[in-house]
């Protein structure tokens, strides 16, 4: 009974005396792309949270953002334009799941010691991924927050454009999109040209982007477009009947559009 009255009182204070409401300290898992940018935009407007840190995974061997290969220099240019403290998880080339989770736990543990009790992500509808994140963070008594969760992805991409965000495609799944999509700017024509089997936000990993302008940045990030590079990666098949290391592996191909940091921002 007492807890119920306390919650009602706290809600009353939050509504009628917002200046007395203490914001929850939260860090954001920053991937440099459009979904992360839009999710951060919503989070920065949420009166319940104070975004005080960004966290990004880096392939330390190549000095690039994991998954889509953006150069570290462009990540750092983004961070400067956002003016939010950040740190990186320095991953080796093709880390095992155990290596990845160990390094992730070290970073999360450090943030927990800094009184971060909430972590935000730009995920939209991948339930297995959300459950995994929530399970891992629960070990640190940290709550996961998903500002874009279960929003319509076509509407989200349209809203992204209408808000004034700008992004360029830096990586595509070659099995689903042709080479011409690598290096394209996200606009209405891009949405219109996407095949019907590709999610408008690329939520299934069909493509990845670099966000270089928008309402969350103090100024646009200048860059130059380099060459397109094709790379293939081994995808182990799921074979529960053998523990052999000689199990047949499929290859997954990706086109990367390399970007270079441009002239110094004004």
Contact 41, 216 (CB under 8 A): yes
pLDDT in tens, 127-161: 999 999 999 999 999 999 999 999 999 999 999 99
CA distance 65 to 170: 11
With vertex at residue 146, the alpha carbon angle to CA 169 and CA 74, rounded to the nearest 5 degrees, is: 35
Residue 256 lies in a domain: yes
Q: Identify the burial level of 130 via C-beta atoms within 10 angstroms of its C-beta, where 0-12 means exposed, 13-18 middle and 19 or more buried.
A: middle
CA distance 216 to 41: 6
Q: What does pTM read for this prediction?
A: 0.86
What are the φ and ψ backbone dihedral angles of 260, each rounded to 5 degrees? Answer: -120, 145
Contact 30, 66 (CB under 8 A): no
Q: What is the CATH number of the domain that holds 198?
A: 3.40.50.620
Looking at the DSSP assignment, which residues form a beta bridge with residue 28?
A: 54, 120
Q: What mean pLDDT comes out for the span 226-240?
A: 73
Contact 214, 166 (CB under 8 A): yes
Q: Is the pLDDT of residue 238 over 50?
A: no
Q: What mean pLDDT comes out for the span 57-77?
A: 96
Our CA dihedral for 138, 146, 21, 3, rounded to 10 degrees, sits at -50
Total number of domains constituting the chain? 1
Range of the domain at 60: 2-261
User: Who's near 150: CB < 8 A, 6+ residues apart?
Assistant: 124, 125
Contact 32, 82 (CB under 8 A): no
Q: Is the pLDDT of residue 252 over 90?
A: no
Residue 231 lies in a domain: yes
User: Which is nearest to 206 in space by CA: 228, 235, 181?
Assistant: 181
Residue 266 lies in a domain: no
**86-91 and 49-59: which strand pairing?**
parallel
Q: How confident is the model at residue 7 (pLDDT cuts 50, 70, 90)?
A: low
User: Who's near 36: CB < 8 A, 6+ residues apart?
Assistant: 28, 29, 30, 122, 211
Residue 44 lies in a domain: yes
Among all chains, which residue has been given the structure tokens 């920065």?
A: 44
CA 168 to each of CA 65, 68, 179, 186, 207: distance values in angstroms, whole numbers, following the listed order: 15, 12, 14, 6, 10
């Amino acid at each position: 009974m007492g807890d119920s009255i306390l919650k009602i009182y706290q809600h009353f204070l939050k509504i009628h005396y917002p200046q007395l409401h203490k914001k929850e300290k939260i860090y954001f898992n920053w991937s440099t792309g459009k979904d992360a940018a839009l999710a951060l935009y919503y989070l920065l407007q949420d009166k319940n949270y104070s975004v005080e840190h960004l966290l990004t995974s880096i392939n330390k061997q190549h000095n690039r953002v994991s998954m889509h290969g953006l150069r570290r220099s462009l990540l750092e240019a983004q961070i400067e334009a956002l003016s939010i403290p950040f740190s990186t998880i320095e991953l080796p080339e093709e880390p095992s799941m155990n290596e990845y989770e160990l390094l992730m736990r070290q970073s999360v543990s450090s943030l927990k010691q800094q009184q971060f009790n909430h972590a935000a992500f730009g995920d939209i509808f991948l339930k297995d991924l959300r459950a995994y994140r929530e399970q891992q963070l629960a070990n640190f008594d940290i709550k996961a927050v998903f500002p874009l969760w279960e929003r319509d992805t076509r509407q989200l991409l349209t809203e992204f454009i209408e808000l004034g965000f700008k992004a360029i495609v830096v990586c595509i799944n070659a099995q689903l999109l042709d080479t011409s999509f690598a290096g394209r700017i996200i606009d209405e024509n891009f949405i219109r040209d996407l095949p019907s089997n590709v999610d408008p936000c690329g939520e299934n990993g069909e493509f990845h982007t670099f966000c270089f302008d928008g309402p969350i940045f103090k100024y646009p990030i200048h860059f130059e477009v380099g060459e397109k590079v094709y790379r293939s990666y081994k995808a182990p098949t799921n074979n529960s009947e053998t523990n052999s290391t000689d199990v047949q592996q499929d290859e997954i191909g990706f086109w990367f559009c390399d970007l270079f940091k441009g002239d110094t921002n004004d």
